[in-house]
Amino acid sequence: MGVKGAFGRWSSYSLVLLCILGIYTTPAVSVKKENFKTCDQSGFCKRNRAYADTVTSTSGFKSPYTLEPASVKFDHGVLSGTVIKSLADGATVRLPLTVALFDSGVARVTLDEEKRKKGEIDLRHGSKARKERYNEAEKWAIVGGTKLSSGAAMKAVGKVATSVVYGPESKFEAIITHSPFAVEFRRDGETQIKFNDKAFMNFEHWRPKVEKPVVEKKEGEEAPPEDTTGEDESTWWDESFGGNTDSKPRGPEAVALDISFPGYEHVFGAAEHTGPLSLKETRGGDRKYSDPYRLYNSDVFEYEMDSPMTLYGSIPFVQAHKKDSTVGVLWLNAAETWIDVTKSTASANPLSLGIGAKTTTNTHWISESGLLDVFVFLGPKPQDVIGAYSELTGYTQLPQHFAIAYHQCRWNYVTDEDVMDVDRKFDKHRIPYDVIWLDIEYTHEKEYFTWDPMTFPDPLTMQKQLDGHERKLVYIIDPHIKNTDNYPVVDELKSKDLATHNKDDNIYEGWCWPGSSHWVDAFNPKAHDWWKTLFRYDKFKGTAKNSWLWNDMNEPSVFNGPETTMPKDNLHHGQWEHRDVHNLNGLTFVNATYNALLARDKEEEKHNVRPFVLTRSFYSGSQRMGAMWTGDNQAIWSHLEASIPMLLSLNIAGFPFAGADVGGFFGNPSKELLTRWYQAGAFYPFFRGHAHIDTRRREPYLAGEPYTGIITQALRLRYSLLPAWYTAFHEASTTGAPIIRPQYYVHPSDDKGFAIDDQFYVGSTGLLAKPVTVEGAESQELYLADKETYYDYFDFWAYEGPGKEKVAAPLNTIPLLMQGGHIIPRRDRPRRSSGLMKWDPFTLVVVIGHSGDAEGTLYLDDGESFDFQEGAYIHRKFAFSTAAGSLQSEDLTTAGTSTSKKVKAYLASMAQVHVEKVIIVGAPSAWQSKAKVQVSETASGSSSSATKDVPFEFVAKDGGKAAYAVVKNPGVAIGAGWKIQF
């Protein structure tokens, strides 16, 4: 069946279903906001905002939480004790507290509830749910950095407060005030973070439901007055929204805390949202939102711009930044969470007329259930905070090399012929790409792990053609499994009892693409074991070694569920309510797929390759498994513009392998928009073009000139800079450093740049990009933070910082500057795919800075296996010095000289890969008359070096364009030690 037939079946079946549900029909203009709760419609959010209002408006309000001084103990880096909550009727609630101090300098404050912990509560409606507060988020999110500190010590225990010192050189201190319970974190004696300073802390303790007598209203009588003496219980026991009722068997159980950052004007993070990188105020203030930032992973397609509304993923981690100081917190709670952000400005001295005034940012965190569990990072540098956070939640996986090249996707390439045709057309037009993607239509009637026999009769031939040019296939597998007959996957899911259950503890049924479906419960380790079996080459026939995975709809998206997701009273493995684990759901599913792919290749093929998985839903820790993208955006300029702060926000949150659909998912972009989007996309860490099924085809070769040519240039730019990108990924995978970096990260002292989120640096390369995101632009203004020369990437025009510089940006230009002081590695030979560049020579671009020096690094490995963990990699540092007149390549490998066969074989295979060109930008005029330079190379394992002369060309300064020089074919190996003497 051809294109028409395949689409015909899709439209007749799924479209009818979706139209009935009002989902995914003809693109509407914007999100259906009414499908998602506001804080006012979310009982616990409303209650806690109201609590905060009561606290603020009650003079002399005293927080009812007290740490019992006699309960305080300190042992091996952990302080423990009991916090007592005093109730209005004189009763008390016991809340066990721990403050753990780690070697890494991170502190963790955890508060539980004794009664629930001991299971001494009654569940309503005969629920089979767990009674405890959910305490397994760490099992999924935390993978390291929790070695308890041996140096931490109790400094003082007084009646009023207890204090502990910890961290590097005991620079950090946590001061715990007993009554009311509050914690203050100091670095070098200065307060950085405060808990419960505003007394918003609220731990909704367990209580039985007291049935109030129903007073019948008799005819002719007035309605009885409402009982206004107690608390507002209207959302304690059950809650309805959009026709769904949540049975809430454990009653109210929210946890909330105010966390203040005194003196800090900016907070970043709390991804994923569409607003600016620097979070806005959500109550009061000038640029306020009216709702808190919400974290409740949801299928919010056609989402709105500049909004605190929830999106597909959650990273409950924020950093506060002020001049020369960054601190942060991770709120480890997987339930629905809201965060209010407010700012207050206090003058340092009442007579100073605002001089020295300091802004404090206050955040108010509110989660529906679970523990109060907060990790505290005291910096002082952005990298210290992100590094410690990444050590805890895991570093981003070093992806296979193809994964950082360009991906071509659409919903859908409809037949195997279609895929092969697109592949040939890319070649015909000499446009590079690495991966082609298959959306849900490749399946037989939305049954995952099957091919539609009519449209994909021969998937292996298709994958073979792709493999011929080192290209890959990514196909989609979602977590909903079609509920139908004669489908072994669903039969196994049911018979093995591996699906999520409903509140009555029976298999849960809902609707998604296939119609009636069940959901794999990836919280269950047995589900992971089973999932592994499905990806085996002999089980999912037609998949080849160059096929990888896309996990979508894993929030999970349930078309007929509350807020398009699962009911909160559904039950997962271990009888945890969905309410407790919702934001982790997507992570567990990608984790299962990642493990399945590892097993597929390692166990079956003895091939130790790094899996590639793309996920839509995520949580802290998902970065360990692969890439994410920002879901269903629109083909309009505002969505292109928003993609940059969105991706920056993920990059500083430990999840840098992030991208947005290039071209916009819904709607048809103008050719100008499509072109600009490719230019921006060439700077997304994850670079994929994607489009909705209703859109017109828009593969780059269809745009026509000049657009196709300009898009091809953008793609070639990405390909030529792949060595720099891969090096940045390597850095991210070992330190957590962002791949694209906002101003505050690179220039933490420059307060003028803290709120800038439309330009960014690429890794440590000094490349500063500001893609055009506005229609009709001819120029772009870049902000240069430092006293340094920045050179135009393409023509070496020199700009002097600090200050703003206007850069010409007609359609065929991407505003891209090189900051002086860096060395950028490239590969300039145009190829069809990145795999074909494996043996290509390198170009090094030396960008001389004000100091006269420049430095850069290059990381390289086989780009697919885990052999780098054994030492099969090249890691070089290039250092240029004008004073010494030399450029040197030094070894940065930490693995030492390995005798492993694999390592030797890899290094031997790279021995023939050379540097073919060195370009020195900003070359000293003294070099003008130079015709050659001296090159010496030290072969690996030898101390003597051979010296030769190689030709040298000098190009003098031309108006605003800097002088530059070129060393042609120095002939040195990329992995060797060498020196060029100028």
Cis peptide leading into 380, omega within 30 of 0? yes
* Residues between 643 and 672 with contacts to ligand NOJ, criterion CB under 6 A: 665
Please count the residues of this chain forming the interface with ligand NOJ, following the rule CB under 6 A. 10
Query: Which residues in the 390-419 window bind ligand NOJ by CB under 6 A?
Result: 411
Distance CA 520, CA 755 (A): 42
Instruction: Reduce the DSSP state of residue 875 to 3 states and report it.
Output: strand
Q: Is 805 a catalytic residue?
A: no
| Contact flag: residue 937 with ligand NOJ (CB under 6 A) | no
- Which residue lies nearest ligand NOJ, judged by its C-beta? 411
**Which parts of 243-302 interact with ligand NOJ (CB under 6 A)?**
none
* Contact string 852-881 vs ligand NOJ (x = CB under 6 A): ------------------------------
SS (H, E, C) 921-981: ECCCHHHCCCCEEEEEEECCCCCCEEEEEEEEEEECCECCECCEEEEECCCCECCCEEEEE
299, 302, 521, 555: which is the annotated catalytic residue? Answer: 555
Strands (E), 141-274: 153-157, 161-166, 172-177, 182-187, 190-195, 202-203, 239-241, 244-246, 255-261, 266-269
Quote the least distance from Cβ 550 to ligand NOJ, whole Å: 8
Query: Three-class SS of residue 812?
Result: coil
* C-beta closer to ligand NOJ: residue 239 or 555: 555
- CB within 8 Å of 803: residues ≥ 6 apart: 783, 784
Write down the least CB distance from residue 593 to ligand NOJ, Å.
15
Closest approach of ligand NOJ to the CB of residue 760, in Å: 25
Rounded Cα distance, 481 and 513, in Å: 9
Cβ proximity to ligand NOJ, 328 vs 681, nearer residue:
681
* Distance in Å, CB of 441 to ligand NOJ, minimum: 8
616 binds ligand NOJ (CB under 6 A): yes
Nearer to ligand NOJ, 439 or 758 (CB): 439
Which one of 336, 552, 661, 750 is the catalytic residue? 552
**Consecutive H or E run containing 99:** strand 92-101
CA gap 315, 137 in Å, rounded: 13
Minimum distance from residue 559 beta carbon to ligand NOJ (Å): 11
DSSP one-letter string for 724-740:
HHHHHHHHHHHH---SE
698 near 692, Cβ under 8 Å? no
Tell me whether residue 253 or residue 632 sits nearer to ligand NOJ (CB atom).
632
187 binds ligand NOJ (CB under 6 A): no
Q: Is 552 in the site for ligand NOJ (CB under 6 A)?
A: yes
DSSP 8-state code for residue 109: E
Residue 782: strand pairing partners: 805
Catalytic site residue 705?
A: no
**Tell me, what DSSP letter sits at residue 457?**
S
Q: Which residue, 482 or 616, has its beta carbon nearer to ligand NOJ? A: 616
User: Which is nearer to ligand NOJ, 551 or 759 (by Cβ)?
Assistant: 551
Q: How far is the CB of 379 from ligand NOJ (least distance, A)?
A: 36
CB closer to ligand NOJ out of 389 and 413: 413
Shortest separation between residue 665's beta carbon and ligand NOJ, angstroms: 6
**Residue 492 contacts by C-beta under 8 Å, 6 or more apart in sequence?**
498, 530
Q: How far apart are CA 259 and CA 835, in angstroms?
A: 48
Rounded Cα distance between 109 and 100, Å, is 7
Long-range contacts of 31-37 (CB under 8 A, 24+ apart): 31/300, 31/301, 31/302, 31/303, 31/304, 31/309, 33/304, 33/309, 35/242, 35/563, 35/564, 36/298, 36/300, 36/309, 36/310, 36/563, 37/241, 37/563
Closest CA relative to residue 623, chosen from 591, 649, 601: 591
Question: Among 112, 601, 632, 758, which one carries the catalytic annotation?
Answer: 632
Least separation in angstroms between residue 440's CB and ligand NOJ is 4
What spatial distance separates the first Cα and last Cα of the chain, rounded to whole Å? 65
The answer to whether the CB of 315 falls within 8 A of the CB of 272 is yes
- 316 vs 631 by CB, closer to ligand NOJ: 631
CB of 556 to ligand NOJ, least distance (A): 12
Residue among 632 and 699 whose Cβ is closer to ligand NOJ: 632
Q: Which residues pair with 482 in a beta bridge?
A: 517
CA distance readout (Å), 918 to 727, 825, 914: 18, 9, 11
State in angstroms the smallest separation of the CB of 552 from ligand NOJ. 5
| Nearer CB in complex with ligand NOJ: 302/384 | 302
Residue 359: CA count within 13 A, CB half-sphere: 14
CB of 311 to ligand NOJ, least distance (A): 11
Question: Which residues fall within 8 angstroms of residue 310, CB to CB, at 6 or more apart?
Answer: 36, 273, 294, 295, 296, 297, 298, 300
* Least separation in angstroms between CB 632 and ligand NOJ: 5
Measured in whole angstroms, the distance separating CA 466 from the mean position of its chain's CA atoms is: 29
CA neighbours closer than 13 Å in the CB half-sphere of residue 681: 30
Residues in 421-460 at the binding interface with ligand NOJ, rule: CB under 6 A = 439-440
Closest to ligand NOJ by CB, 665 vs 927, is 665
CB-based contact 134:334 (threshold 8 Å): yes
Q: Does 514 bind ligand NOJ (CB under 6 A)?
A: no
Quote the CA–CA distance of 301 and 822 in Å, as a whole number. Answer: 41
Task: Judge whether 415 and 485 are in contact, CB under 8 Å.
Answer: no
Binding mask 466-495 for ligand NOJ (x = CB under 6 A): ----------x-------------------
Restricted to residues 688-747, the positions that interact with ligand NOJ (CB under 6 A) are 690
Asked if 631 interacts with ligand NOJ (CB under 6 A), we say: yes
Q: Which is nearer to ligand NOJ, 303 or 978 (CB)?
A: 303
416 is catalytic: no
Rounded least distance, CB 412 to ligand NOJ, Å: 8
Q: Which is nearer to ligand NOJ, 559 or 793 (CB)?
A: 559
Which residue from 112, 632, 861, 867 is in contact with ligand NOJ, where contact means CB under 6 A?
A: 632
Structure tokens at 94: 């016991």
Q: Would you please indicate which residues are annotated as catalytic (active-site) residues?
A: 552, 555, 632
Binding site residues, ligand NOJ, CB under 6 A:
411, 439-440, 476, 552, 616, 631-632, 665, 690
